[in-house]
Amino acid sequence: MNSKKLLLLTGLLFCSSVLFAQINTEKSLQLNPYIGMSTPQEDFKNFSKSGYVLGLSLDKYISSKFGLGIDFNYQSHGYKNSTDYSIISNPYSVSSNISGDWSSTNITLGPTYKFGTGKINTEIYAKGCISMVQSPSEEINLTGGT
């Protein structure tokens, strides 16, 4: 991810946190937008660049501590090909055509429980998820020989 995108994400996150820090937590409906960076782990980092996450969480509190919530988010990662084709010698050549990125759209739904009082609290939740994942496609062509 380049530095302009990182700076933009950081700025948006700061502005939204300042704006939503002013919301009264006693209301029974909470709307929380969020934005962040997503870093691939383990073997996935061999095929993916760092990306971003955009989301919106909506919680309806039935009591002061218990609520039901729904969350929508979108994640996107650039594709990275980690295969080294330089070991293929003449008269052969390899060309690669890549289209698309890794992305997922997620919808979660479930209960939320709030610990703490006042302006500082912690929420725990157990939400089930429907996830729609799109993967990039790559076409590899080997040419040459007799």
pLDDT in tens, 102-119: 899 999 999 988 888 777
What was the pLDDT predicted at 104? 92
The per-residue DSSP string of 74-141 comes to: EEEEEE------TTPPTT-EEEEEEE--EEEEEEEEEEEEEE--TT--EEEE--EEEEEEE--EEEEE
What residues contact 58, with CB distance under 8 A and at least 6 apart? 29, 30, 31, 32, 69, 70, 71
pLDDT in tens, 42-51: 888 888 888 9
What was the pLDDT predicted at 11? 63
Per-residue pLDDT at 1 exceeds 60 = no
125 closest CA partner among 140, 109, 142: 109
- Beta-bridge mates of residue 103: 76, 134
Per-residue pLDDT at 37 exceeds 50 = yes
What was the pLDDT predicted at 101? 86
pLDDT in tens, 48-100: 888 999 999 998 988 888 899 999 999 998 888 777 777 777 788 887 788 88
Q: Is 68 helix (H, G, I), strand (E, B) or coil?
A: strand
Per-residue pLDDT at 27 exceeds 80 = no
pTM of the model: 0.64
| Whole-angstrom distance, CA of residue 142 vs CA of residue 86 | 12
What was the pLDDT predicted at 15? 57
Quick check: bond before 136 cis, omega within 30? no
**Rounded alpha-carbon distances, angstroms, from residue 47 to 68, 71, 94, 97:** 36, 27, 18, 15
- How would residue 128 be classed by pLDDT, with cut points 50, 70 and 90? very high
Name the one residue in this structure whose structure tokens are 């993967």.
135
Amino acid letter, residue 110: G
